[in-house]
Amino acid sequence: MKSTKKKKLSTKLMIGMLLFALFIMICTSAAVGIYSSSVEINEITANAFALSRSGARMIDGDQVRKYLNVVGTKENGDKLYYSDQYYNEVITFLNAIQDENDFVLYYYVCVPVDEGLLYIWDATTSEHPLPQGHIENIQPKERKAAELAFSRTPEEKYVRVSDKTWGNLLTAYSPIFDSSGEPVALVGTDLSINKMVMKFTNYLGLIFISILVVTGIGVLLLFKVMRRVVIDPIEKLNNAFGSEVGSLRSKTRFDPEIHTGDELEELANSFRKMDNDLHDYIGQLTAVTADRERISAELGLAKRIQAKILPNDYPAFPERNDFDIYALLSPSEQIGGDFYDFFLIDDDHLAMVVGSVSAQGIPAALNMVILETLIKSRAMQSFTPADVLQSVSEQMISYKTGLSSAVWLAVLELSSGKGIAINAGYESPLLHRAGKQFEQLEYEGFPEVGAAESSRYRDHGFQLCPGDSVFIFSDGIRNARNKKGERFGDRRVLELLNHEPEATPSVLIQTVKQAVDRFSADEPQPDDCTMLSLKYYGANESKRTELIRSVFDDED
């Protein structure tokens, strides 16, 4: 059994090393091939232009035009062009250049004409030498390269041509100038790409074989070392590790007897310590798991109690026609400290409060309950918002909890639309005037409740007219993030509200809630999302009916 396991481990190690070696070989060969091909192409291209330029310098441009003159007719009816000793000397020169360069397949002198290229000289050692005066039709890219080269300011641009007759070629042109600087002809160099590919393939094959031999030797040596250093020590501890689960179940301590005086003994000592720690940890984990299950159940109950404290039956005041109010709290995964409340102080005064405790968990939830209770109790005594928060802040400081809370509190006189509000470190509300769009309100802010003993709060007055709306939301809405880490932000909230600014509070809040859910998808949010919205219709029911009718008329 031991021999079988050892063989399997050795086989896996060998396969892994071979695959790794193969990967290294492929990457190395590819890198060498790409680099070499780039260098080779640049070198060959430069060589092609060098040969063309060399030929252009050697040929006398003042004599070229005379070899375009027709001096007679051959027996087969072809034109007979002028030639002399110099003409033959150029042929000899072209032949010598072509013979000295293995990749040069065609080396010639030509003139661009409308029909293609008019040949003057062509090395006679070429596979298919073209006679003087022959006109060859060429491809558009060849014509473009020839035109670029045939200029007082030539541009060197090589072109690759694949042709059944002439083969797979790389062509470079250089101009021949006369004494006045005018181009009179082109020296063309056609290199055989097939020969270049063959040479390059042989070169890569040699590299690959060299890498293969070196890598194979390295893999074998490395395998021998790994077998002695890794496989054998692992095999000795294999039985000890295999019996660990059984020892944990039986609660017996297993002590492998390994005394080699090296790292293997250190590993055995570590295993012995791990075995002891695992037994201790399993005992602790069992107790902690029971505690966590109990705490999780208690937290779930606390969340449900926290949700029941907040008003959530709608319509909130079905008997009232002078206003409509709606609020929503979407909690985060943890118990948070966000809260909202709204209640009638008397028949003509509505109190609205939204807040957030600067913490999370059970302390924040308890602090929220205390804070909400104190604010409501104080507000029901007809104190102004500033007096309410002043008193509550002093009480919270006296409790020495170390927690502060951002609070927005407002009291609205329903008969007149006059209101008093105070913002103690909370987000500024958005106001919608009838027939207009929501805008951000900016007024004096004060320190959070319970933050500073010396802070003095002052009321802020406002006026609502029939059809006006107020919308306030927590920073959990603004800071909601998607998978890219982008924030939802104030701009998106304003755009959503102003898409249908005359909508009821429940529609506005549900619109924003659905947009935030789509934006964040399944991304967990770190903070509660709280919203409260009020739409004021006024004390005159006829005015309210007229306002609602005008809103629906505008939609039609």
pLDDT of residue 322 exceeding 70, the answer is yes
Is the pLDDT confidence value at 240 over 70? no
Instruction: Quote the pLDDT of residue 253.
Output: 60
Answer whether residue 439 shows pLDDT above 90: yes
Rounded CA-CA distance 208/215 in Å is 10
Tell me the pLDDT tens digit for each residue of 353-386: 999 988 777 787 788 888 889 999 999 998 899 9
Residue 328 has pLDDT above 50, yes or no: yes
Find the helix or strand (DSSP H, E) in which 318 lies.
none
Instruction: Say which amino acid occupies 256.
Output: P
Instruction: Kindly report the average pLDDT of the chain as a whole number.
Output: 81
Tokens read off for 254: 């297993």
pLDDT beyond 80 at 89: yes
Q: CA-CA distance, 467 to 450, in Å (whole number)?
A: 36
- Check pLDDT > 50 for residue 43: yes
Give the pLDDT mean for 528-542. 84
* Best CA proximity match to 407, nearest among 394, 393, 424, 395: 424
- Please say whether the beta carbons of 175 and 186 come within 8 A: yes
Distance CA 380, CA 516 (A): 35
Tell me which residue of 522, 510, 464, 516 sits closest to 490, measured CA to CA.
516
**Within 10 A of 350 (CB to CB), how many other CB atoms are there?**
24
By the 8 A CB rule, do 465 and 538 touch?
A: yes
pLDDT single digits (tens) 128-167 = 788 888 888 888 888 888 888 888 888 888 788 776 666 6
CB atoms within 10 A of CB 74: 10
> Which pLDDT score, from 0 to 100, does residue 215 have?
80
pLDDT tops 60 at residue 254: no
* pLDDT band for position 10 (cuts 50, 70, 90): low
Residue 525, pLDDT above cutoff 80 = no
User: Is pLDDT at 345 greater than 90 in this prediction?
Assistant: yes
φ and ψ at 542, to 5 degrees? Answer: -65, -40
Nearest alpha-carbon partner for 37 in 45, 27, 25, 26: 45
What pLDDT was estimated at residue 45? 79
Q: Mapped to the 3 state alphabet, what secondary structure does 129-162 carry?
A: CCCCCCEECCCHHHHHHHHHHCCCCCCCCCEEEE
Q: 224 vs 115, which has greater pLDDT?
A: 115
Domains and CATH numbers, the chain: 2-198 (3.30.450.20), 243-309 (no CATH), 312-555 (3.60.40.10)
At 296 the pLDDT is: 57
Are 382 and 345 contacting, i.e. CB atoms less than 8 angstroms apart? yes
Q: Is the pLDDT of residue 556 over 50?
A: no
Question: Residue 80 belongs to what H/E stretch?
Answer: strand 79-81
At 297, the pLDDT band (50, 70, 90 cuts) reads low
> Which amino acid makes up residue 271?
F
7-16 average pLDDT score: 70
